[in-house]
Structure 1
Amino acid sequence: MMKHTETNADALEDDLDYQIDASSNESDNDSQSQSSSHEIEANQPSSDASEVKKNKRKRQRQKLKEKKKQKFGTSGKEATSLAHSPDILSDIINNQIRINFKDLSAVELQDRFIKSSYIEDTIDFPNERETGNYPEYVTHAFKKNNQENEFNKVDSNGSPTTLIFCLSALRALDIVKALRKLQTEEFKITKLFGKHIKLDEHIEYCKNNKIGIAVGTPQRILQLTNGNLNFDHLKFVILDYTFTDKKSYNLISNNDCKKPVMEFLTHPSLLKRLSDKTTKICFY
């Protein structure tokens, strides 16, 4: 899961301590240069010293921002490079199917492969793949399929039109928050993840609510596909692919997520809908 060059070693933000092993001649030169620099600094006005401190604080703030990005994951401009054509995405998914189902024969694997025709080509989506652009992306996918009239129609409980798979509960909350403006009484935006929410609670919720878009983790969504969350009206499965965690893993390379994602994508009921072109896979 949608990268400045300075010769000054002190400006490198890699948390490494640099040690220089200098020769005696270099040490003499350093002593002379240090002496000269002290003389220059002594003659510098206080405003220059203030500017140096200001720049130092600015670098420290930038460093903190970068650490926060690494901690919570990233999406957007840097991640947009992960947006590929259906042919490439099909190869990526099928490679993961081979890895996660090693016990299957070549023939059995072939039956589970995701064809490029199963994947909606959204490479022409004009906006950056940032969290805030999710509502536009979902409506864009429906328009491409000439199904804008089907977008917010939910005929039965527990039967969403769109399922969004993401890396974590926190990521799901961010996406749900962005999608809230699409919610109506008959078109719920639902979060589905195991953190602090029991499976029985989700089962009960699915039975009693018309879900338009469900956003959740692969593990919890997979647990709900045994009759509680059905595919009868499912138009799109969206993989939150360009978002990456602090270790630069995305949804289908993260160890906790990749197998349940592959199990869902190769579910017989979903494969039937993909083959019939009633459901499409999208990569955000």
Structure 2
Amino acid sequence: MSDSESDGGVTLIEAEFDTAASSKKRKRESEPEATKDSKKAAKKLKRKEKKKQKAKEIDEDDLDQELGVNHSFERMDGQLVADYVNARTRLYGKELSSVELEDRFIPARTVRDSTSWTEPRTSDKLSAFLKSQCKSVEPTPKKPVGAPHTIIVTASGIRAADVCRSLKSGLPKQGVTDPKVGKLFAKHMKVADQVAHLKKERMDFGVGTPDRLAALLDEKALSTANLKQVVIDVSYIDQKKRGILDMKELHESLIKFLLRKNFLGEGKGGLRGDELFLFY
């Protein structure tokens, strides 16, 4: 009996005749290189996801029902916002593969840090926030028409209408004279009517819901020629304490809109997208 056997060890020669190991080895050797590479890539991506910083959980105390605001976003920098949004995408896309999920994540480079703004992110303070945080809120040129410098994405038509009223009353107080605010949502408005309006009028701020804004971009009526920022109305919560990221269908519409080639630099006329998204 060898020393290894007497010590309770396993002789090295036994591994050579491990039929399971031999079978697995033959299977790996018979696999095409492309399949091996794809498996390696999937494993690498999975490990990468596990290492990513987990998004900060929303504290119930941050949900201010009286103001209709989720205060947690006030403390998130660009990286944390991207992490949180992507965590929601992962939650809603459990049936998707790692590669499919990766294609639906927003890059952290696209999110502008707005933690310098410390006041509650209510609709009445939106104009001051925009004046403070946006690259430009000056009037757009007369041409091209339908090309706002700021697009604001909201959870619903009712919320969009509230935001429009807030901007029209609040922007002049911030020194923005005669702001052109466009209502780009579905409530009582047909796509055809909005297309006709966009094709003849200039616009500084376009406010709407993800699906309607996407439809107007598809119609080539809404232009990104003057676009400086896309503002996501993320802090607003309804009576059930739900925001734009808290409903699967709405979240998916928002992500699909934000990842359009118009914003992320692919194709003719696309923007690169660096710090384009501003979460309010």
Q: TM-score range by the shorter chain?
A: 0.5 to 0.7
Paired position in structure 2 for 1:91 = 83
1:162 maps to 2:158: no
SS in 1 for 2:199: helix
The answer to whether the Cα contact below 8 Å between 1:86 and 1:121 also exists between their aligned partners in 2 is yes
The alpha carbon displacement at 1:236 in A equals: 0.9
Q: 1:96 to 1:222 in 2, by over 3 A?
A: farther
Give the superposition deviation at 1:106. Answer: 3.9
Query: Is the 2:71–2:235 contact (alpha carbons within 8 Å) kept by the matching residues of 1?
Result: yes
> 8 Å contact 2:146–2:201 — kept in the other structure?
yes
- Looking at structure 2, the residues matched to 256 and 129 of structure 1 have their Cα atoms a distance apart, in angstroms, of 24
TM-score normalised over the length of structure 2: 0.65
Q: Do the aligned partners of residues 275 and 134 (structure 1) sit closer, same or farther apart at CA in structure 2, a change above 3 Å counting?
A: same
Give how far 1:134 is off: 0.9
Q: What residue is the counterpart of 2:227 in the other structure? A: 234
Partner of 1:267: 260
Residues 209 and 102 of structure 1: is their aligned pair in 2 closer, same or farther, counting only changes over 3 Å?
farther
Kept in 2, the 8 Å contact 1:192–1:214? The answer is: yes
1:202-217 equivalences in 2 (<5 Å):
202-217=194-209
CA shift for structure 1 position 95: 2.9
* Contact 2:68/2:238 (8 A) holds in 1: no
Equivalent positions of 1:55-204 (< 5 A) are 74-76=67-69, 79-83=70-74, 84-98=76-90, 106-107=98-99, 109-142=101-134, 147-148=135-136, 151-154=138-141, 155-181=143-169, 182=171, 187-204=179-196
Name the SS of the counterpart of 1:275 in structure 2.
coil
Q: Would the alpha carbon gap of residues 196 and 116 (structure 1) be closer, same or farther in structure 2, given more than 3 Å must change?
A: same
Whichever residue aligns with residue 266 of structure 1, its letter is: L
Partner residue, 2:42: none
Looking at structure 2, the residues matched to 230 and 100 of structure 1 have their Cα atoms a distance apart, in angstroms, of 30
Change (3 A) 1:103 1:207: farther
Q: Residue type matched to 2:201 in 1?
A: N
Distance across 2 between alignment mates of 1:165 and 1:186 = 21
- State whether residues 118 and 274 of structure 1, in contact with CA within 8 Å, keep that contact through their aligned partners in structure 2: no
Gaps of 5+ in 1: 4-68
Instruction: Report the identity percentage.
Output: 26
Structure 1 residues 124, 176: CA separation in 2 closer, same or farther (over 3 Å shift)?
same
Unaligned runs of 5+ in 2: 1-57
Do the aligned partners of 1:75 and 1:131 also contact (CA within 8 Å) in 2? no
Which deviations, in whole Å up to 9, do the C-alpha atoms of 1:25-65 show, x marking residues without a partner?
A: xxxxxxxxxxxxxxxxxxxxxxxxxxxxxxxxxxxxxxxxx
Aligned residue number for residue 219 of structure 1: 211
CA distance in 2, matches of 1:203, 1:102: 37
Q: Calculate the aligned-residue CA RMSD, in Å.
A: 2.8
Q: Which amino acid letter does the alignment assign opposite residue 119 of structure 2?
A: N
Answer whether contact 1:162 1:212 (CA < 8 A) is retained.
yes
Q: Deviations for 1:117-175, whole angstroms, at most 9, x for unmatched residues?
A: 21111111142211111111111122xxxx44x63224411111111111222211111
Secondary structure of the residue aligned to 1:211 is coil
Give the C-alpha shift of residue 108 in structure 1. 5.2
Give the whole-Å Cα distance in 2 for the aligned partners of 1:207 and 1:101: 37
Number of paired residues?
208
Say whether the 8 Å CA contact 1:165–1:216 is kept in structure 2: yes
- Output the CA distance in 2 between the equivalents of 1:103 and 1:159: 38
Distance 1:225 1:100 in 2: 26
What is the CA–CA distance in structure 1 between the aligned matches of 2:213 and 2:92, rounded to whole Å? 18
Q: 1:257 aligns with which of 250, 253, 267?
A: 250
Which SS does the other structure have where 1:248 is aligned? coil
